[in-house]
Amino acid sequence: MKKWIALPLLALLALLVWIAAGPFMTINAIRDAIQAQDSAELSRHVDFPLLRQSLRAQVEDALARQVGAQVLESPLGGLAMGLANQAAGGMVDAIATPAGIGAILEGRGLLHRISGGGISKDDAYAHQPAPDPLRDARYRFESPSRFTATVLTADGAPVVFVLLRQGLGWKLADIRLPPAAPASRAN
C-alpha cells in the first residue's frame, strides 16, 4: 500500500523539479545556441510573436514619452508620430528574429564591429565573442509560469528577460528594456 502512495508522490516531485529547472535549462540552451550561432536552435526557445509585440509596445511608448503630449496633440505631430511608430515597428520586426536576438545577446552589432569591440589584441582578424550577457543575472520566479532574469546595463539600468512556461517547457517571451531618460525641455 505504501508503494502505491510513494510512486505518485515521487512522480509529482519529479514533475515539480522538472518545471523548476526548466527556466535554467532554457537559459543555458539560449546561451549555447548563441555561442554556436545556431538561429534555428535559438528559435526553439524564443516566442517571437510575443517578443515582437512587447518590444514594439515599449518602443512606441518610449517614442511617445520623448516627443511629449504637446506634439502628439497637433495634427502634424500625430502624423509624424505615426510615421515614426511605423519605422520603429519595422526595426523591431527586423531585430526580433533568431539572427537579430542572437546578435544582440552576443554583442555582434555594427557599432561593436566598427569600434573594434571583440578584436583580439594578438590577432586583429580574430573576433572574440562578447561576454555572456546573462552571466551576472539575478533570477526569480514571479509565478509558477513566469520566470525573470535581470541584468544591469553599463549604466546600471535593469534589462529583464522574461520566460513564460508553455506546457512543460519555457520560452523567452519578453525583454523589458530600461526606461528611456526623459528628454530635457528648455522653458
9-29: average pLDDT: 88
DSSP per residue over 80-102, as a string? Answer: HHHHHHHHHHHHHHHHSSHHHHH
Q: For position 145, what pLDDT does the model report?
A: 92
Q: Does residue 185 carry a pLDDT above 70?
A: no
User: How much is the average pLDDT of 18-42?
Assistant: 85
Q: What is the CA radius of gyration of the chain?
A: 21
**Backbone φ, ψ for residue 138 (5° rounding):** -100, 125
Residue 53 predicted with pLDDT over 80: yes
Length of the chain: 187
How far is residue 33's CA from residue 171's CA, in Å, rounded to a whole number? 14
Starting from the edge strand earliest in sequence, which strands make up the sheet with 146-152, in order?
138-143, 146-152, 158-166, 169-176
Segment 37-55 shows an average pLDDT of 86
Which of 10-14, 30-34, 38-42, 114-118 has the weakest average pLDDT? 114-118
Cβ neighbourhood burial of 65 (10 Å; 0-12, 13-18, 19+)? middle
Q: Which of these, 105, 102, 126, 131, lies nearest to 116 by C-alpha position?
A: 126
Higher pLDDT, 161 or 79: 161
Q: How confident is the model at residue 121 (pLDDT cuts 50, 70, 90)?
A: low
